[in-house]
């Protein structure tokens, strides 16, 4: 996720900004840039890749000044190129901005600005903001122009602006993307996150959505977007640097678990419109989906957690689109001589877009004439580039090795794809269609509710932390939840062996191991197979196994079947794997934590598996 820094003060400005940006590196990025104001005007430097490249550029061509902005970009709109890197300037080159988030209505704003004669250089959604302010500057002073431009934006943003007309002030604002103000001695900062400025000041002003800030060396001046002053005292930060990087959470994994409501919002953004009961994709993806044959065959390929998302996708697409789907582990697919032709679409699912087996599968499928649609989190990654169309999950960088928000955002992207195709092919309409659209729009709120059960989950995890074998069971949409729950636990707690099964398979073998106190996590949420799952619970309990049941809120009858009960909000069965994943992630996290495991960097595992 992009990192933003703004600086007003008397320290060497490019060094200060570079240093602050380097403290935001954990957020992930693929290019970086800086804009500094001095007697020559605004000077901008950008480089793709790591900050080192930008630092070298600044060494070769130093820029002096006392006010400036900097940015590390994690590409969302437009590939990670130098042109797309921030800061972006207006037509006159006298104002520059940095942005984090997604401007939902950028296409319509761009069309309007093009008609007004503005010239664009990048493919980003961000650049429109510079031109929008430029346009308002024709009739308004800069503070008003900045606020008027903000009012035009739909979507999420944290923005900071520097203007050659204002040598002593920066302007900043946020909506659903992070931005804070640091107030130091004789210097002030904007930053995406506290670690950027912690070495210089512990005095922080937290900003709320739809507030505008003018920042001078004396401090911030906050107003509403109408210009009404807001008073806010700075907060003193007590965390150390390591804790601050994790937003106060002890591990990135826990931070990322808690980021899921926002991550899913980003996946849905611009694609799901509950008010208009509409699901849509960008032009290229829609064009791709329009070429699918009536008898198209789909093969989903992926590895690990992404494979589990693929299994959910299989259930979704077959039930609602009535399209035949096979799901394959990419490492098997690439070597099993699969049957492929022009009427086959291969859907590759990958967080990193760099997994060697998935990439090889994509290349093989292409050679045999299949079409490739990728669901991916990293823009411009190798698999994204090798594909005919890409649905980006926009979940933000995932740092913990164990995938959490990447998984739920992949399942969300598959739900969007399913709804889009089901509507297009006439399998869904009227009330059922609206119910599913509303259900999907509700998912971020339901995840927030599911997260509330954290204290109870922690207590249950403490109870079972000494166990060394776990089973996970589910049926239909929650078979993959069981597989993923077991993977999460064994991944981050290597002391434990955990297996996930389709609950109906228990009696065909695994049940032989069940003995007194053997913990079995069962997903028994509201579904068409609920009664069957309850029977499976009883089969386990008859052998004295202990069932940790994840059930829907309001299901009182389940209590007598559960040794420990975790409840999650009710949802349509199709979305239940997203909601049920939350307690399962938290359970794995707290069991591993109680066992003193290295949660973010488990032994023998890598975040991105770029070798066979």
Which residues contact ligand AGP (rule: CB under 6 A)? Answer: 303-306, 350-352, 355, 358, 401-403, 491, 608-609
Residue whose CB is less far from ligand AGP, 35 or 383:
383
User: Minimum distance from CB of 302 to ligand AGP (Å)?
Assistant: 6
- Going from the C-alpha of 225 to that of each of 5, 236, 281, 348, the distances in angstroms are 22, 26, 31, 43
Residue whose CB is less far from ligand AGP, 327 or 402:
402
Q: Give the 3-state DSSP-derived string for 150-189, with helices as H, strands as E and coil as C.
A: HHHCCECEEEEEEECCCCCCEEEEEEECCCEEEECCCEEE
User: Minimum distance from CB of 482 to ligand AGP (Å)?
Assistant: 15
3-state secondary structure of 524: strand
Among 50, 366, 570, 607, which one carries the catalytic annotation? 607
Comparing every residue's Cβ against ligand AGP, the nearest one is 304
Q: What is 412-450 written as a DSSP string?
A: HHHHHHHHHHHHHTTS--HHHHHHHHHHHHTHHHHHHHH
- Going from the C-alpha of 117 to that of each of 83, 153, 203, 205, the distances in angstroms are 20, 20, 43, 38
Strands 31-38 and 469-474: unpaired
Residue whose CB is less far from ligand AGP, 43 or 491:
491
Among 2, 303, 376, 493, which one carries the catalytic annotation? 2
Nearest to 490 by CA among 368, 345, 591: 591
Residue whose CB is less far from ligand AGP, 210 or 385:
385
Rg of the chain, C-alpha, whole Å: 25
Catalytic site includes residue 544: no
User: Minimum distance from CB of 403 to ligand AGP (Å)?
Assistant: 4
- Going from the C-alpha of 228 to that of each of 210, 212, 225, 295, 342, the distances in angstroms are 12, 10, 7, 59, 60
Residue whose CB is less far from ligand AGP, 205 or 402:
402
Residue whose CB is less far from ligand AGP, 7 or 307:
307
Cβ neighbours around 215 below 10 Å, total? 26
User: Minimum distance from CB of 1 to ligand AGP (Å)?
Assistant: 17
Residues forming beta bridges with residue 279, ordered by sequence position? 272
3-state secondary structure of 87: coil
Question: Which H or E run contains 83?
Answer: none
The whole-angstrom separation of Cα 536 and Cα 530 is 10
The whole-angstrom separation of Cα 275 and Cα 263 is 21
The whole-angstrom separation of Cα 86 and Cα 126 is 8
Residue whose CB is less far from ligand AGP, 303 or 447:
303
User: Minimum distance from CB of 311 to ligand AGP (Å)?
Assistant: 13
Cβ neighbours around 545 below 10 Å, total? 22
Catalytic site includes residue 2: yes
Residue whose CB is less far from ligand AGP, 32 or 486:
486
The whole-angstrom separation of Cα 167 and Cα 313 is 53
Residue whose CB is less far from ligand AGP, 94 or 393:
393
Q: Give the 3-state DSSP-derived string for 242-263, with helices as H, strands as E and coil as C.
A: HHHHCCCCCCHHHHHHHCHHHH
Sequence-ordered list of residues with C-beta below 8 angstroms from that of 92, at least 6 positions apart, any chain: 134
Nearest to 573 by CA among 371, 393, 415, 421: 415
Between helix 260-268 and helix 443-451 the angle, nearest 10°, is 170
Residue whose CB is less far from ligand AGP, 100 or 358:
358
User: Minimum distance from CB of 578 to ligand AGP (Å)?
Assistant: 16
Sequence-ordered list of residues with C-beta below 8 angstroms from that of 522, at least 6 positions apart, any chain: 472, 473, 474, 503, 533, 536, 537, 540, 547, 548, 549, 550
- Going from the C-alpha of 443 to that of each of 102, 260, 380, the distances in angstroms are 19, 10, 28
3-state secondary structure of 553: coil
The whole-angstrom separation of Cα 363 and Cα 353 is 13
3-state secondary structure of 552: strand
Residue whose CB is less far from ligand AGP, 87 or 304:
304
Tell me whether residue 516 is exposed, middle or buried, using C-beta atoms within 10 angstroms of its C-beta: 0 to 12, 13 to 18, 19 or more.
exposed
User: Minimum distance from CB of 281 to ligand AGP (Å)?
Assistant: 21
Would you name the residues annotated as active-site residues?
Answer: 2, 607
């Amino acid at each position: 996720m992009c990192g933003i820094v703004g600086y007003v003060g008397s320290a060497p400005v490019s060094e200060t900004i570079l240093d602050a940006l380097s403290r935001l590196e954990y957020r992930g990025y693929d290019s970086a840039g800086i804009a500094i104001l001095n007697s020559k005007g605004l000077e901008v430097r950008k480089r793709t890749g790591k900050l080192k490249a930008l630092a070298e550029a600044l060494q070769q061509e130093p820029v002096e000044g006392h006010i400036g902005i900097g940015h590390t970009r994690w590409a969302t709109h437009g590939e990670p190129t130098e042109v797309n890197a921030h800061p972006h300037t207006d037509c006159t080159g006298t104002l520059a901005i940095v942005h984090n988030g997604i401007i939902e209505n950028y296409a319509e704003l761009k069309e309007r600005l093009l008609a007004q004669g503005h010239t664009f250089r990048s493919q980003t959604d961000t650049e429109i903001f510079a031109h929008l302010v430029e346009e308002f500057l024709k009739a308004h002073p800069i503070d008003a122009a900045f606020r008027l431009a903000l009012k035009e934006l739909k979507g999420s943003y944290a923005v900071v602006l520097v203007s050659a007309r204002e040598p002593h002030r920066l302007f900043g604002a946020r909506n659903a993307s992070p931005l804070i103000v640091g107030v130091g001695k004789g210097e002030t900062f904007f930053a995406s996150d506290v670690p950027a400025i912690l070495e210089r000041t512990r005095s922080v002003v937290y900003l709320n959505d739809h507030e505008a800030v003018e920042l001078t060396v004396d401090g911030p001046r906050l107003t509403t977007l109408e210009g009404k002053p807001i008073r806010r005292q700075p907060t003193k930060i007590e965390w150390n640097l390591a804790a601050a990087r994790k937003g106060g959470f002890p591990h990135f994994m826990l931070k990322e678990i808690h980021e899921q409501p926002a991550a899913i919002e980003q996946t849905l953004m611009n694609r799901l419109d509950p008010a208009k009961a509409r699901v849509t994709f960008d032009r290229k993806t829609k064009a791709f989906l329009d070429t699918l044959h009536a008898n198209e065959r789909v093969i989903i390929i992926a590895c690990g957690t992404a494979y589990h998302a693929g299994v959910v996708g299989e259930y979704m697409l077959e039930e609602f689109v009535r399209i035949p789907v096979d799901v394959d582990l990419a490492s098997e697919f690439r070597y099993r001589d699969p049957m492929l032709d022009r009427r086959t679409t291969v859907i590759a699912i990958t967080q990193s877009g760099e997994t060697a087996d998935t990439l090889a599968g994509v290349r093989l499928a292409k050679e045999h004439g299949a079409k490739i649609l990728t669901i991916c989190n990293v823009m411009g990654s190798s698999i994204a580039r090798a594909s005919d169309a890409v649905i980006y999950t926009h979940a933000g960088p995932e740092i913990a090795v164990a995938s959490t928000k990447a998984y739920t955002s992949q399942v969300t992207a598959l739900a969007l794809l399913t709804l889009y195709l089901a509507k297009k092919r006439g399998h869904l309409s009227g009330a059922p269609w609206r119910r599913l659209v509303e259900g999907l729009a509700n998912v971020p709120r339901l995840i927030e509710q599911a997260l509330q059960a954290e204290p109870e989950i922690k207590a249950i995890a403490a109870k079972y932390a000494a166990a060394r074998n776990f089973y996970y069971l589910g049926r239909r949409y929650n078979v993959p939840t069981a597989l993923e729950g077991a993977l999460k636990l064994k991944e981050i707690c290597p002391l434990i062996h955990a297996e996930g099964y389709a609950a109906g398979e228990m009696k065909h073998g695994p049940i032989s191991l069940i003995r007194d106190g053997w913990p079995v996590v069962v997903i028994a949420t509201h579904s068409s197979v609920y009664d069957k799952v309850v029977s499976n619970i009883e089969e386990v309990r008859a052998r004295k196994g202990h069932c940790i049941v994840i059930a829907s809120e309001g299901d009182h009858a389940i209590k007598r079947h559960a040794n420990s009960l975790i409840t999650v909000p009710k949802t349509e069965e199709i979305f239940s794997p997203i909601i049920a994943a939350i307690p399962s992630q938290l359970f794995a996290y707290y069991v591993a934590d109680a066992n003193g495991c290295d949660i973010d960097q488990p032994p023998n595992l890598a975040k991105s598996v770029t070798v066979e």
